[in-house]
Structure 1
Amino acid sequence: MSEYEKIELTNMCMIYDNNGNVVVQDKINKSWGGITFPGGHIEKRESFVDSVIREVKEETGLIIKNPKLCGIKWWEVKSNKRYVVLLFKTDEYSGTLKSSDEGKVFWTKLETLKTMNLAVSFDKMIDVFCDDNIQEYIQLKGNNKWIDILK
C-alpha cells in the first residue's frame, strides 16, 4: 500500500483595492455554484503563480501581478485523492473587468460579502484570505457530514 495520494491542484485569487472592494464571480456550476473568487485548475507542469494569473485573466479579463500565497484549502474526494486549492491575493491588477462563461464578475464590498449567496464553504475560505493567523482550511467527512477545521 502506497503512503502517497493523488492530488488535484487548483487555485483561487482575492483581487482587492484600497477602498474595501473585492472582485467576485457568480460561478455557474452545478456542483459548486454561487459567489466566489475567480480561480481554476493548475495545468500539468504549470507554475502555481502562472496558473492563478492565467485563470484570473480567463475568468475576469484582469491581468494580475505579484499574487501572494495566503493559504490552502483541501479535502479528501476519494480514499486516496486530495483536492487542494492554493489561495492567493493581490491588489495589483490592470485591464477591464469582463465576465466569462464561468459566471458574471463584479466588484463588491468585502465587508458585505458574507451576506451574499456564497458557494458552499466559501464563507470559511474568506476567513483564510482575510485572517493572517489562519493558513489552512480543511474539510473532513465524519458521520456523513463535513467538519470544518481552520489552522
Structure 2
Amino acid sequence: MRNEVSLYTMCMVQDGTKVLLLNRPDSKGFPGYIAPGGKVDFPESIVNGAIREVREETGLIVKDIVYKGLEESCEPNSGHRYMVFNYLATSFEGELLEQPPEGELVWVEIEDALKLPMQDWFKRRFPLFFQDGTFELSEIWDEKNDRVLEETARYYPARLPQEAGYSGS
C-alpha cells in the first residue's frame, strides 16, 4: 500500500477578546463554526499557505502569526495521513469579504465560542490556540469501523531561548 500525505493549515484570527470564525453551511463540509484554513498548495511553505487561506476566505492579511501546533490523523486502511498545521494571528489588515466563499464570517467572544455548533475535533482544538507553547495531537482512525484506534496528545510549554540553552551567539 502506498502512503499519501495531505497538508492543511488552520489560522485562528484574534482581535482582542474576539476571534474570527466561519459559519460553514452543510454544503461545504464540516458544517458549523470553524477557523479559516485549507489545503497547502505545492510548493508553498506551510505558513504561507495559512496566510493565503485566511486572505482567500476572509479578505484579511494576517501579520503577527505564531505556530501553535499540529493535529494529524492517520487512516491505516487507505495509508492516508492528514496533517493540519495550526496558527494564531493577532494582527491583520484589510476588510472582511462581503461575499466570503466558505460561509458567514462572525467575530465571536473567545469565552462564548465553545457554545456555538462546531465539529468535535475543532471544539477539542479550540482552547489550545490560546495556551502558551505548542501542541501535538495525533490519532489513528479506522474509517471503515468509524473508530479511533490510538490517540496521542502532547503539550510543549513555551520556553525563552535562554531556558532552551540558546546563548544568542
Q: Is the pair's TM-score, using the shorter chain for normalization, greater than 0.5? A: yes
Runs of 4+ aligned residues of structure 1 deviating over 6 Å after TM superposition are none
Compute the TM-score of the two structures, normalised by the length of structure 2: 0.78
Is 1:34 equivalent to 2:32 in the alignment?
yes
Cα deviations by residue, 1:31-86 (Å, 9 ceiling, x for unpaired): 41210100111001011121111110110011111321110111014542100100
Is 1:118 equivalent to 2:118 in the alignment?
yes
How many residues are aligned here?
148
Paired residue type of 1:24: L
Matches within 5 A, 1:2-151: 5-18=3-16, 20-30=17-27, 31-77=29-75, 78-98=77-97, 99-132=99-132, 135-141=135-141, 144-146=146-148, 149-151=152-154
Structure 2 unaligned blocks of 5 or more: 155-169
Structure 1 unaligned blocks of 5 or more: none
Compute the TM-score of the two structures, normalised by the length of structure 1: 0.86
Q: Which has the larger radius of gyration?
A: 2
Give the stretch that moved more between structures: 36-45 or 65-74: 65-74
Shift of 1:148: 5.2
Report the RMSD for the aligned CA atoms in angstroms.
2.1
Question: CA–CA distance in 1 between the matches of 2:114 and 2:74?
Answer: 25
Question: CA–CA distance in 2 between the matches of 1:119 and 1:105?
Answer: 17
Question: CA–CA distance in 1 between the matches of 2:151 and 2:128?
Answer: 12
Question: CA–CA distance in 1 between the matches of 2:116 and 2:45?
Answer: 32
SS of match in other structure, 1:53: helix
Question: CA–CA distance in 2 between the matches of 1:75 and 1:144?
Answer: 13
Paired residue type of 2:153: L
